[in-house]
Chain A
Amino acid sequence: MASFVPRSPETLEDQRLYTEDRLVEVACLDCLARVRVKKNSDHQTSVQWSAEARSACQEFVRRDAGPGRRDVHKPCSRLMASIDDAVRAGAVSVGAYDGY
Chain B
Amino acid sequence: MTDTRLLDQGTAPTRYARGWHCLGLAEDFRDGKPHAVEGFETKLVVWQDSQGELNALDGYCRHMGGDLTQGEVKGDQIACPFHDWRWGGDGKCKQIPYARRVPLRARTQRYETVERNGQLLIWHDPQGSAADHDILPPELPDVMTEKYTPWSWHTKDINGSHCRELIDNVADMAHFYYVHFAFPTSFRNIFDGHTATQFMESKGRPDTAGGGYGDENSTLKSVATYYGPAYMINWLEVDYKGFVTEVILINCHIPTGPSSFRLQYGISVRKPEGLDEKTCAYIAERYTESFGDGFLQDVAIWENKVAVQNPLLCEEDGPVYQLRRWYEQFYVDVDDIKPEMTDRFEFEVDTTKANEFWHAEVAENLARMAADGETVGH
Contact residues of A with B, CB < 8 Å? 1-8, 10-11, 14-15, 18-19, 40-51, 54, 69-75, 96, 99-100
Give the chain A neighbours of B9 by CB distance below 8 A: 7
**Chain A contact surface mostly:** loop
Structural contact, A15 and B321, CB atoms closer than 8 A: yes
Structural contact, A45 and B190, CB atoms closer than 8 A: no
Tell me which of B273-281, B283-291, B309-317 binds A. Answer: B309-317
A75 and chain B: residue at smallest CB distance: B346
The CB with the most chain A CB atoms within 10 A, among B141, B312, B344, B351, is that of: B344
Partner of B350, one of A11, A41, A54: A41
Q: How many angstroms from the CA of A100 to the CA of B322 in the assembled complex?
A: 12
Report the number of A-B residue pairs with Cβ-Cβ less than 8 Å.
115
The CB with the most chain B CB atoms within 10 A, among A47, A48, A72, is that of: A72
Q: How many angstroms from the CA of A18 to the CA of B348 in the assembled complex?
A: 15
Structural contact, B332 and A2, CB atoms closer than 8 A: yes
A46 and chain B: residue at smallest CB distance: B347
Structural contact, A51 and B347, CB atoms closer than 8 A: no
Structural contact, B314 and A99, CB atoms closer than 8 A: yes
Give the Cβ gap from A4 to chain B, nearest Cβ, in Å: 5
Structural contact, B138 and A51, CB atoms closer than 8 A: no
> Taking A6-B309, A69-B139 as contacts, is the C-beta distance between A43 and B8 under 8 angstroms?
no
Partner of A47, one of B12, B321, B345: B345
Structural contact, A100 and B310, CB atoms closer than 8 A: no
Total B residues in contact with A, Cβ cutoff 8 Å: 49
Give the chain A neighbours of B324 by CB distance below 8 A: 4
> Taking A5-B10, A45-B346 as contacts, is the C-beta distance between A40 and B315 under 8 angstroms?
yes
Give the Cβ gap from A81 to chain B, nearest Cβ, in Å: 14
Structural contact, A72 and B225, CB atoms closer than 8 A: yes
Residue interface mask B215-231, A partner, CB < 8 A = 1: 00000000101000000
Q: Can you offer 17 A-B residue contacts whose CB atoms are under 8 A?
A: A3-B13, A4-B10, A4-B164, A5-B11, A5-B309, A7-B309, A10-B8, A14-B321, A18-B313, A18-B321, A43-B350, A46-B346, A48-B343, A48-B345, A69-B138, A69-B141, A99-B314
* Interchain residue pairs A-B with the least CB separation, the first 10: A3-B331, A3-B13, A49-B344, A43-B350, A44-B350, A18-B321, A47-B346, A11-B310, A69-B138, A8-B8
Q: Does B339 contact A (CB under 8 A)?
A: yes
Structural contact, B197 and A43, CB atoms closer than 8 A: no
Give the chain A neighbours of B312 by CB distance below 8 A: 99
Give the Cβ gap from B115 to chain A, nearest Cβ, in Å: 17
Q: How many angstroms from the CA of A33 to the CA of B362 in the assembled complex?
A: 44
Structural contact, A54 and B13, CB atoms closer than 8 A: no
Q: How many angstroms from the CA of A47 to the CA of B141 in the assembled complex?
A: 32
Give the chain A neighbours of B345 by CB distance below 8 A: 46-49
Q: Does B155 contact A (CB under 8 A)?
A: no
Q: How many angstroms from the CA of A50 to the CA of B222 in the assembled complex?
A: 27
A15 and chain B: residue at smallest CB distance: B321
Q: How many angstroms from the CA of A3 to the CA of B258 in the assembled complex?
A: 12
Partner of A11, one of B8, B195, B314, B348: B8
Q: Does B365 contact A (CB under 8 A)?
A: no
Within 8 A of A (CB), among B308-367: 309-310, 312-315, 317, 319-322, 324-325, 328, 331-333, 336, 339-340, 343-352
Q: How many angstroms from the CA of A36 to the CA of B225 in the assembled complex?
A: 24
Give the Cβ gap from B342 to chain A, nearest Cβ, in Å: 8
Q: How many angstroms from the CA of A99 to the CA of B5 in the assembled complex?
A: 14
Give the chain B neighbours of A50 by CB distance below 8 A: 339, 343
B136 and chain A: residue at smallest CB distance: A70
Q: Does B237 contact A (CB under 8 A)?
A: no
B7 and chain A: residue at smallest CB distance: A8
Q: How many angstroms from the CA of A43 to the CA of B185 in the assembled complex?
A: 12
Structural contact, A40 and B350, CB atoms closer than 8 A: yes
Give the chain A neighbours of B38 by CB distance below 8 A: none
Structural contact, B321 and A19, CB atoms closer than 8 A: yes
Q: How many angstroms from the CA of A4 to the CA of B351 in the assembled complex?
A: 30
Give the chain A neighbours of B199 by CB distance below 8 A: 74
Structural contact, B138 and A70, CB atoms closer than 8 A: yes
Known: A4-B11, A43-B348, A72-B225. 8 other contacts (CB 8 A): A2-B328, A3-B328, A4-B13, A4-B331, A18-B321, A45-B348, A46-B346, A54-B192
